[in-house]
Amino acid sequence: MQLQYPSLMAAVATSLNGSIGNFTQEPPKNFGFVLYDSFDVLDISGSIEPLYLLSSSHQLNLSLIAESMAPVYMRPAANETNPVHSHFQLSVNPTHTFEDPPQDLDVLFVPGGGGERLGNITAAVDFVRNTYPRVKYLITVCTGAGVAARAGLLDGKRATTNKASWDKIIPLGKGVQWTSPARWVVDGNIWTSSGVTAGIDLMFAFIEKFYGKDIAHRIQAVTEHKRTFDPCDDPFAAINNVPPSGHCK
């Protein structure tokens, strides 16, 4: 069976023609995704997918930003005491480096992944800290909240992270109002999601807010994703024994 992606894209574009809501704010168009060794691929691809479909009808820029232009791997996180010899690897090619990033980013996006805790992500943390003041929105998915917490950007804010990694991430941000249960949390211009697939629901909510319900629903119909619409709907807090804290809305 052949995937009919080009015609799906065309269908989204056609059905969305002229369906943008009455939004006074210019919607965010330039998205920069931070990459580091042993990032989680679904954390980024889950959010890139709806943006990709959105880009068939709206001009968007997607940048993939890493320490160097070398491919960045999703693979079991290794360090000096625990070298991993697994050949389970998947790579993404960066478009920009931390030293020479795009200048006009609207959204900075930070994924999680094994590298967040086990690897050396100093360069990514510094980049996120230095870039945040120049962007309109910061989005983190899963343990990407740990990167933002280490950068000091979540202090005094409500935020959430993967409930299965809760105990490892919350010490990274002692001034953060860590929130559970929460599939995602919005505080000011910072959007944080719970684990992996929660990032897809966050991105749908983000697109709906800035581009409208029609487009979000149309992209949902194409991706056939069963959205969680309520940011407080988070069964994984109880499943991972994370006690309630903070307010999800």
Phi, psi of 192, rounded to the nearest 5 degrees: -125, 140
C-beta of 120 vs 130, nearer to ligand NAG: 120
Least Cβ distance, residue 30 to ligand NAG (angstroms): 5
Task: Please identify which of the residues 44, 92, 107, 142 carries the catalytic annotation.
Answer: 142
**Any contact of residue 86 with ligand NAG (CB under 6 A)?**
no
Q: Which of residues 117-156 bind ligand NAG (CB under 6 A)?
A: 118, 120, 122-123
Distance from C-alpha of 143 to C-alpha of 193, rounded to nearest angstrom: 9
C-beta of 17 vs 81, nearer to ligand NAG: 81
Least Cβ distance, residue 181 to ligand NAG (angstroms): 28
142 is catalytic: yes
C-beta of 7 vs 24, nearer to ligand NAG: 24
Least Cβ distance, residue 130 to ligand NAG (angstroms): 13
User: Where do contacts with ligand NAG occur on this chain (CB under 6 A)?
Assistant: 22, 29-30, 59, 61, 79, 81-82, 102, 104, 118, 120, 122-123
User: Which residues are catalytic, by number?
Assistant: 142
